[in-house]
Amino acid sequence: MFFSFTERDLEFTGELLYIKNEYSLFYRPYSPNVGVSILCGAYTSLDTICETEVVAHISGLNSQRVWIPKKLKMPKAKKGELIAHFDNPPLKGSGVDYDRSWPTYYDEKSNCLCIGNPKTRDSDDAVEFANGIIAVLRKNQLVAILAKIKIVETAP
């Protein structure tokens, strides 16, 4: 599996919520077209549209209890579509492991979350593919997802 992106001047709507009593991330509004989950960082999912392989947003379990405190800065990013290139055609309703060992870092001051490697390089490609969510690619491999989150106690 590898990733690419298409730079586009997109208008994003929505926000990424962290629901404390469920230990979960939820993107609102959730895309009804999502059909494949690419798991990275425990049970966090890149929610992907089967037919186009475009990643719509992220969601999934990611307990605040294991977040590692760290000062984070969102990288400068281009707006566009993040595209997942699967080794085999994905089946709707399926899940694919990418790298479930990734830790999650959190900066309480900026409400920024990083799943994966928080150390970006100048040669990395950063693409904002949903409102406040940036994928960092290094040689067409995903190395991190950084996101601005809104913490809520319960699901809206």
pLDDT in tens, 91-126: 899 999 999 899 999 999 999 999 999 999 999 999
Number of separate domains in the chain: 1
Of 62, 67, 60, nearest in space to 27 by CA: 60
Give domain status of residue 24, yes or no: yes
The whole-number pLDDT of residue 156 equals 85
Give domain status of residue 156, yes or no: no
DSSP, res 31: P
Average pLDDT over residues 9-30: 95
Give domain status of residue 28, yes or no: yes
The model's pTM is: 0.96
Average pLDDT over residues 50-66: 95
In the block, tokens 């940036």 appear at 134
How far is C-alpha 127 from the chain's CA centre?
A: 11
Range of the domain at 122: 2-150
Q: DSSP per residue over 62-129, as a string?
A: --GGGPEE----PPP-EEEEEEEE-SSPPPTTEEEEEETT--EEEETTTTEEEEE-----TTSEEEEE
Average pLDDT over residues 15-28: 97
**C-alpha radius of gyration, the chain, whole number:** 14
